[in-house]
């Protein structure tokens, strides 16, 4: 009886080749797109930072000249200073307000679900939409802010105070160099509070109830319980909140660009908006790349600090 010839093809090898082929298909395409849209622009930005380039002519190598010019330019120093102010406000006001809201809503107050959604809703809106809404709110004549101030001055006038309610209509929140930056930051804070609240709510749900109950038995109540027990136990969440707030501060662009475009007189300028204007309005993409490098390095430093804190926390937990 003649037996059928055995196939020279190894089934295990065929299966391995089949799996490798699909591995290339599923990982290769995303890696290709990631390389085109992320890695190549990242490397290209670093190379252009040391060149004179207008986006059309060939790039010319000029070394550190862009960086030297950058730190000698008042507009850049002002934008950097405004970013530092933004960071300081962002790591204090939204963090404190978000933590306070989380503590209140974690107690199971009435309509807590509605309140959570209401405070988180601004984060769902696109930054451009937020900028347009707050632009209307800050409008000198029909804006909500000046209308409320005018109403308050009207009440004071009826009580005999020498005030003029129409003076409120002269407040230009986005047109006054002294108020423009704080006005834009105010809109950003309104958007950020809900995000911080959600992070702290998640952190509060993970606290050890037995430890807190033991602290209450020992007499810890109210602010003392929060200060000596709850807040230290929320340290990992606070670290995440602070780092996210810093990163969001450094990449703030949408609100500034739509509401003021850095004006008036660069009074609300930040690094991201300054970079875009330099690249696409002044056609100095090499100089703008140098600004992007500085912005990346600042963000990278804060990210390293965050990772170091996370690693230390993991070591303590082991």
Nearest to 189 by CA among 80, 78, 97, 84: 97
pLDDT tens-digit map of 237-294: 888 888 888 888 888 899 999 999 998 999 999 999 999 999 999 899 999 999 999 9
User: Does pLDDT of 79 surpass 90?
Assistant: yes
- Reported confidence tier of residue 85, pLDDT bands at 50, 70, 90: very high
Query: What percent of the chain is modeled with pLDDT above 90?
Result: 42
pLDDT value at 5 more than 60: no
Which of the four pLDDT bands, split at 50, 70 and 90, describes residue 182? Answer: very high
pLDDT of res. 13? 60
The token pair that represents 245 in the structure block:
């707030």
Please give the Cα distance from 189 to 182 (Å, whole number). 10
Which of the four pLDDT bands, split at 50, 70 and 90, describes residue 1?
very low
Given this model, what pLDDT does residue 199 score?
92
Residue-wise pLDDT tens digits, 105-142: 888 778 888 888 888 888 888 999 999 999 999 998 88
Segment among 17-26, 50-59, 73-82, 87-96 with least mean pLDDT: 17-26
Worst-scoring range by mean pLDDT, 70-74, 76-80, 240-244, 252-256? 240-244
Q: Is the pLDDT assigned to residue 30 strictly greater than 90?
A: no
Q: How confident is the model at residue 21 (pLDDT cuts 50, 70, 90)?
A: confident
All residues at 6 or more sequence positions from 262 whose CB lies less than 8 Å from its CB, including other chains = 79, 256, 268, 269, 270, 273, 274, 277
State the pLDDT at residue 294: 92
Q: How far apart are CA 133 and CA 136, in angstroms?
A: 5
pLDDT at position 113 is 86
């Amino acid at each position: 009886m003649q037996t059928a010839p055995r196939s020279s093809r190894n089934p295990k090898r065929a299966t391995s080749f089949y799996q490798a082929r699909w591995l290339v298909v599923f990982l290769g395409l995303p890696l290709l797109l990631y390389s085109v849209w992320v890695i190549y622009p990242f490397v290209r930005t670093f190379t252009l930072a040391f060149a004179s380039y207008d986006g059309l002519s060939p790039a010319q190598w000029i070394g550190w000249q862009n960086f030297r010019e950058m730190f000698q330019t008042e507009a850049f120093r002002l934008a950097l200073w405004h970013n530092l102010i933004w960071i300081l406000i962002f790591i204090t006001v939204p963090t404190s307000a978000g933590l306070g809201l989380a503590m209140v809503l974690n107690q199971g107050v009435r309509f807590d679900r509605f309140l959570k959604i209401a405070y988180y809703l601004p984060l769902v809106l696109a930054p451009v939409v937020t900028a347009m809404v707050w632009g209307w709110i800050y409008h000198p004549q029909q804006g909500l802010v000046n209308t409320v101030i005018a109403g308050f001055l009207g009440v004071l006038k009826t009580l005999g105070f020498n005030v003029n309610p129409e003076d409120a209509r002269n407040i230009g929140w986005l047109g006054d160099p002294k108020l423009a930056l704080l006005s834009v930051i105010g809109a950003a804070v309104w958007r950020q509070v809900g995000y911080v609240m959600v992070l702290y709510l998640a952190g509060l749900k993970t606290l050890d109830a037995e430890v807190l109950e033991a602290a209450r038995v020992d007499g810890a109540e109210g602010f003392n319980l929060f200060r000596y027990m709850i807040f230290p136990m929320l340290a990992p969440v606070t670290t995440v909140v602070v780092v996210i707030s810093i990163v969001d501060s450094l990449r703030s662009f949408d609100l500034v660009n739509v509401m003021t475009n850095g004006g008036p007189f660069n009074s609300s300028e930040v690094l991201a908006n300054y970079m875009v204007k330099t690249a696409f309005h002044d056609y100095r993409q090499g100089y703008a790349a140098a600004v992007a490098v500085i912005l990346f390095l600042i963000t990278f430093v804060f990210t390293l600090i965050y990772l170091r804190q996370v690693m230390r926390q993991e070591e303590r937990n082991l």
